[in-house]
Amino acid sequence: MIHLLLVGFLLGGYLILINTLFRRSRCKGNAGMAGKTVIITGGNTGIGKATALHLARKGGRVILACRNRDKAAAAITQIQQETGNSEVLFMHLDLSSLKSVRSFTETFLKTETRLDLLINNAGLVADGRTEDGFGVEFGVNHLGHFLLTVLLLPRMKEAGGGRVVTLSSMAHRWGHVDFETLAVSRHLGTGSYSWQFFQAYCNSKLCNVLFTHELAKRLQGSSVTCYSVHPGIVRTELSRHVSLWQKVFIEPLARLLFLDPEAGAQTTLHCALQEGIEPLSGRYFSCCEVQEVSDRAKDDAVARKLWEVSESLCGLSS
């Protein structure tokens, strides 16, 4: 009897989890991509690769913006074989280097005549510093994408009707932005223990939501819109930098509950392809639906200050 109760309890818990925290959704957006150009950061693996595959299948010109040329080449070969679309390209981008971001945008603007969709997909959970001395999670997850977006916006406005989709996370709810620490130490959290760099990850994901919130205000009057996304809890390479014992603990749980990259790409695709969501520019989406964010994530003053500080750190402010 006790065994049956235990099995029932575990099964009930599993069903609750897969219908709440690990709920699946499906993108129903069907906007055409033929003749349109897309940039996907981190598009050679995980959610980014699944997103690239779908958009290539719809006829888009898809640029995988990532560091690893070999992984990108393998991804491109697979995508081209599965979709028959030869317009899938690699361009080198290292988000941990502002110099690389500038080089990428310079090359793109010289070689590509339009940009319709920018998907800020890449991210990591790790400790360390970027080439420019920023905390690696703040530098890669937020600052690199901030500079990339700002430099590409003029080209997006030229094409008209473009969208910026930035992957955040439900982890933003546990984040905070300490501008004093950022000014002094050039990071929003660091440390060798996993809980320390997970907190830094939460802080960087809050930056993603605040960035989108402020970007929408600055895009008013143009036809470009923007959205932040929680993709779900997905089995990707995001946690590749965590310790071995943590991977041993996480891997069985991931195989049982976590979404696969295709399922994790659905909300990104919704924000990229769903027609009629333009009035929701600046909002946060999860499970292909608009969701409310934490109070910290819709603080106008904090969002504006983060933008101004980010401009300064990137050398954009006058």
Catalytic residues: 201
The strand pairing partners of 65, in sequence order, are 41, 91
Q: What is the Cα–Cα distance from 94 to 26, expressed in whole angstroms?
A: 31
Supply the DSSP string of 239-287, one letter for each residue: TTTS-HHHHHHHHHHHHHHSBPHHHHTHHHHHHHH-TT-GGGTT-EEET
CB crowding 1-34: b at 16 or more within 10 Å, else e: eeeeeeeeeeeeeeeeeeeeebeebebeeeeebe
- Among 98, 94, 299, 282, which residue's Cα sits nearest to residue 179? 299
Record the tokens describing residue 297, joined without a space: 């994530």
Q: What is the Cα–Cα distance from 170 to 172, expressed in whole angstroms?
A: 5
Q: What is the Cα–Cα distance from 310 to 317, expressed in whole angstroms?
A: 9
Say which residues have a Cβ less than 8 Å from residue 72's Cβ, sequence separation at least 6. 43, 44, 64, 66, 90
Q: What is the Cα–Cα distance from 184 to 140, expressed in whole angstroms?
A: 19
User: In this structure, are residues 257 and 18 in contact, taking their beta carbons and an 8 Å threshold?
Assistant: yes
- Residue written as token pair 């996907």: 40
- Among 135, 143, 140, which residue's Cα sits nearest to residue 123? 140
Helices 145-159 and 300-313, packing angle to 10 deg: 100
Q: What is the Cα–Cα distance from 180 to 198, expressed in whole angstroms?
A: 20
Record the tokens describing residue 250, joined without a space: 């996480």
